[in-house]
């Protein structure tokens, strides 16, 4: 199929390569013209631990390929999803019959919309054509063809299956389902707990503490997800506990790395600058915190991560606040 991949970061470049090697006609779009040229000319790798892009893969700063594309894959940072969609809409291209896939994990600040909702909010009436692909899948491993399993979801099973067929191969296994709400909530909120997990590492705590963050974090994730219309069983799958585990424990996790830097005493600004890449969990912490307040849900870990990142609370005080809460049933 003719596919345009929007976003040439680590995940976008990795998925574009996977789709290209699966036999599709792929164009990879990069917002920055200079970087697009350097990627196209193979002067740089798409990311630090990535591999070179296939020589035949087209990398461009032009959106011309969108006109004839049957599939559009969004892999831009969540805070740029709306502006990217608006950029496409302004080109007066019809998206009614295209398969639109989001591989972006996040909840938009202020509107508190999931990424599929943002796409539909801009293009109007395309929700039935939107699929989401998500799960425990670090680009650093997928690009090296390390066995990975994810899920494809959409409001209807037919759309989810169309997405699955595009990506499925012998090292990238794709399941499908129809709980798009649960999958997107799990994908977004797990990044907040990854920051908490990194803070635990920065404070030099051990496995006991991190296990507490993961298990109690899952509890909070389920509270939010089910309240917003997701199915509880989804959070025990790939986009729930699977994604939560990989991002809380992995050396590749950007969100865990930001949290670790904060736990070691750096400011949030210093932590993000030292990372050199976007950690979705920072913005998603704001959204998660606002969701809790809006729905009146008790989310102690999310609230403490928010206090550390945005209210100057020290990590030690945040941990103490969690540990000295009133006793209660599990």
Which stretches within 63-110 are classed as H helix?
81-89
For 42-59, b/e burial (b = at least 16 CB within 10 A) is eeebbbeebeebeeebbb
Beta strands in 238-316, from DSSP E residues, in sequence order: none
Residues 284 and 318: their CA atoms lie apart, in Å, by: 19
Angle at 160 between CA 159 and CA 163, to 5 degrees: 90
- For residue 173, what are the β-bridge partners? 149
Could you give the 3-state DSSP secondary structure of residue 117?
helix
21 burial class (0-12, 13-18, 19+ CB within 10 angstroms)? middle
Q: Is 190 a catalytic residue?
A: yes
User: Helix 254-263 to helix 300-310 angle, to the nearest 10 degrees?
Assistant: 70
- Out of 98, 105, 162, 190, pick the active-site residue: 190
Residues 194 and 249: their CA atoms lie apart, in Å, by: 8
Catalytic residues: 190
């Amino acid at each position: 199929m003719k596919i345009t991949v929007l976003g040439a970061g680590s995940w976008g470049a990795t998925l574009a390569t996977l789709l290209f090697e699966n036999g599709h006609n792929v164009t990879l779009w990069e917002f920055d013209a200079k970087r697009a040229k350097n990627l196209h000319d193979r002067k740089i790798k798409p990311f630090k631990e990535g591999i070179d892009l296939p020589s035949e893969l087209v990398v461009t700063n032009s959106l011309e390929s969108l006109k004839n594309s049957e599939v559009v894959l969004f892999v831009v940072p969540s805070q740029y999803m709306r502006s990217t969609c608006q950029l496409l809409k302004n080109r007066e291209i019809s998206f009614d019959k295209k398969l639109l896939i989001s591989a972006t994990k996040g909840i938009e600040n202020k509107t508190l919309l999931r990424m599929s909702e943002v796409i539909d909010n801009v293009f109007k009436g395309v929700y039935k054509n939107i699929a989401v692909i998500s799960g425990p899948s670090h680009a650093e491993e997928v690009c090296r063809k390390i066995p990975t399993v994810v899920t494809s979801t959409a409001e209807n099973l037919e759309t989810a299956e169309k997405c699955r067929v595009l990506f499925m191969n012998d090292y990238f296994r794709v399941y499908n389902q129809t709980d798009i709400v649960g999958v997107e909530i799990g994908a977004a909120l797990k990044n907040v707990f990854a920051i908490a997990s990194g803070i635990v590492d920065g404070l030099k705590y051990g496995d006991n503490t991190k296990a507490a963050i993961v298990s109690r974090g899952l509890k909070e994730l389920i509270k939010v997800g089910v309240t917003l219309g997701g199915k509880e069983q989804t959070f025990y799958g790939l986009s729930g506990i699977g994604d939560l585990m990989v991002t809380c424990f992995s050396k590749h996790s950007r969100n865990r790395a930001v949290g670790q830097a904060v736990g070691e005493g750096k400011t949030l600004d210093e932590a993000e600058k030292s990372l050199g890449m976007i950690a979705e969990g920072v913005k998603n912490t704001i959204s998660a915190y606002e969701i809790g307040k809006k729905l009146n849900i008790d989310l102690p870990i999310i609230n403490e991560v928010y206090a550390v990142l945005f209210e100057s609370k020290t990590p030690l005080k945040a941990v103490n606040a969690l540990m000295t809460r009133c006793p209660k049933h599990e």
